[in-house]
Structure 1
Amino acid sequence: MYLAQDEDTIAAISTPPGEGGIGIVRISGKDALNIAQTLFVGSRRQDLRSVPGYSLHHGLLLDPDSHSVLDECLVSVMRAPHSYTREDVIEVNCHGGRLSVRHVLEAVLRCGARLATAGEFTKRAFLNGRLDLAQAESVIDIIQAKTDAGLQLAVQQLHGKLSTRVELLRQTLQQLLALVEASIDFSDEDIELISHDRISSELQSALAAITELLAGAQEGKIVRDGLSIAIVGKPNVGKSSLLNVFLEEERAIVTPVPGTTRDTIEDYINLHGVPIRLIDTAGIRKTDDHVERLGVERSRRLIEQADMILCLFDTSVPWTEEDDAFLDMIRKKAKILVLNKIDLPAQVSVHDVLSHFSETVPVFQISISEQLGLDELKQEIVDEVLDMPLESVAVTNVRHKQALTQTQKSLTHAENSTSAGMSQEFIALDLRDALQHLGEITGETTTEDILDRIFSTFCIGK
Structure 2
Amino acid sequence: MLDAVNSNIFDKRFGDPDDTIAAVATPRGSGAVGIVRISGPDAVSVVAKLFSPASPSAPYPPPPRSLSLGLISDPASGSVIDQALVAFFPAPNSYTGDDVLEIYCHGGSLVTREILSAAVSAGARPALNGEFTCRAFLNGKLDLTQAESVNDIISSRNRPFLLSAVNQLSGFFGKKIKTLRSRLVDTLASIEVVLEYPEDNIDNPNRTALLSVLRDSVSELRNIMGSSASAHISNEPFNVVLIGKPNVGKSSLLNRMLDRDRAIVSDIPGTTRDVVSDLISTHGLDFLICDTAGITKTKDIIESIGVKKTIQASQRADAIIAVFDGSSDFDVNDSETISIASIAPFSIAVINKSDLAQSLNTDSIYSAFPKHRIISASAKTGDGIPAVYEALLAHSEELFSFSADAPIINERNKISLLQSISSLEDCLLNVDSAPDDILCVDLRAAIEQLGLITGENATNDILASVFANFCVGK
- Structures share fold, TM-score greater than 0.5: yes
One-letter identity of the residue aligned with 1:348: S
Deviations 1:277-298 (A, max 9, x none): 2322222334344653453354
In the other structure, the counterpart of 1:416 is 429
2:445 corresponds to: 433
Matched residue of 2:375: which SS?
Answer: coil
2:394 maps to 1:379: yes
Give the RMSD, CA atoms, in angstroms.
Answer: 3.5
Which secondary structure state, in structure 1, belongs to the residue aligned with residue 279 of structure 2?
A: strand
Which residue number corresponds to residue 375 of structure 2? 367
| Residue 311 (structure 1) shift | 6.8
**Alignment-mate amino acid for residue 446 of structure 1:** A
Query: Which residue of structure 2 lines up, in the alignment, with residue 348 of structure 1?
Result: 364
- Is residue 403 from structure 1 mapped to residue 416 from structure 2 by the alignment? yes
| Cα separation, 2, equivalents of 1:424 and 1:226 | 50
Residue 43 of structure 1: aligned partner: 54
Specify the alignment match of 1:335 in structure 2: 345
Q: Is the alpha carbon distance of 1:274 and 1:435 closer, same or farther for their aligned partners in structure 2, counting shifts above 3 Å? A: farther
User: Pairwise mapping of residues 229-240 of structure 1 onto structure 2 (< 5 A)?
Assistant: 229-235=240-246, 239-240=250-251
2:415 partner letter: Q
Equivalent in 4, 10, 20 of residue 10 of structure 2: 4
Cα shift at 1:194: 1.7
Instruction: Letter of the 1:447 partner, please give it.
Output: T
Opposite residue 379 of structure 1, the aligned amino acid is A
2:364 alignment partner, SS class: coil
Distance 1:246 1:320 in 2: 27
Question: 1: CA distance between counterparts of 2:428 and 2:238?
Answer: 37
Give the C-alpha shift of residue 47 in structure 1: 8.1
Deviations 1:387-436 (CA, angstroms, capped at 9, x unpaired): x6333412243332332222222222222222x53222222212211111
Number of residue pairs aligned between Structure 1 and Structure 2: 448
- Residue 274 of structure 1 and its aligned partner are, at CA, apart by 4.6
Which residue, 441, 446, 456 being the options, matches 2:458? 446
TM (normalized to structure 1)?
0.83
- Cα gap change, 1:349 to 1:276, in 2 (>3 Å): closer
Instruction: Give the equivalent residue in structure 2 for 1:102.
Output: 113
Shift of 1:10: 0.8
| Corresponding residue to 2:406 among 393, 400, 418 | 393
Report the CA distance shift for 1:227/1:450 in structure 2 as closer, same or farther (over 3 A): farther
How far apart in 1 are the matches of 2:247 and 2:454? 52
Secondary structure at 1:367's aligned position in 2?
strand
SS of residue paired to 2:88: strand
1:458 aligns to 2:470 (yes or no): yes
Letter in 1 for 2:229: Q
- Structure 2 residue aligned with 1:77: 88
Residue 380 of structure 1 aligns with an amino acid whose one-letter code is: H
Q: Is the 8 A contact 1:77 1:90 kept in 2?
A: yes
Q: Report the Cα offset of residue 219 of structure 1.
A: 1.2
Distance in 2 between residues matched to 1:160 and 1:215, nearest whole Å: 19
Q: After the TM superposition, which residues 153-192 of structure 1 pair with which residues of structure 2 at under 5 Å, given as runs?
A: 153-185=164-196, 191-192=202-203
Residue 322 of structure 2 is aligned to residue 312 of structure 1: yes
Q: Which residue of 2 aligns with 1:261?
A: 272
Q: Which moved more, 1:154-163 or 1:193-202?
A: 193-202
Q: What's the counterpart of residue 57 of structure 1? A: 68
* Paired residue type of 1:422: A
Residues of 2 paired with 1:381 and 1:72: CA distance? Answer: 46
Residue type at the aligned position of 2:118: A
Q: Which moved more, 1:339-348 or 1:8-17?
A: 339-348
SS of equivalent residue, structure 2 residue 195: helix
Aligned amino acid, residue 86 of structure 1 = G
CA distances 1:252-292 after superposition (whole Å, capped 9, x unpaired) = 56777643433322223457655332322222334344653
What is the distance in 1 between the residues matched to 2:110 and 2:265?
Answer: 45
Change (3 A) 1:179 1:271: farther
Aligned AA (2:346): I
Unaligned segments of structure 2, at least 5 residues? 353-357, 378-382
Aligned pairs (5 A) from 1:129-278? 129-185=140-196, 191-235=202-246, 239-240=250-251, 243=254, 247=258, 252=263, 258-270=269-281, 273-278=284-289
Contact 2:238 2:396 in 1 (8 A): no
Letter in 1 for 2:364: V
State the alpha-carbon separation in 1 of the partners of residues 63 and 365 from structure 2: 75
| Residues 29-83 of structure 1, C-alpha deviations (whole Å, 9 max, x = no match) | 1111111112222233368666542232222222222222222222111111111
When normalised by structure 2's length, the TM-score is 0.82
How many Å apart are 1:302 and its aligned residue? 3.8
Return the alpha-carbon distance in structure 1 between the equivalents of residues 461 and 231 of structure 2: 25
Q: Give the % identical residues.
A: 36
Letter in 2 for 1:93: Y
Cα gap change, 1:17 to 1:50, in 2 (>3 Å): closer
CA deviations 1:438-462 (Å, max 9, x no partner) are 1122111122122122212222121
Confirm or deny: 8 A CA contact 1:223 1:273 kept in the other structure.
no
SS at match of 1:390: coil
Distance 1:381 1:77, change over 3 A: closer
Q: Distance in 2 between matches of 1:78 and 1:128?
A: 15
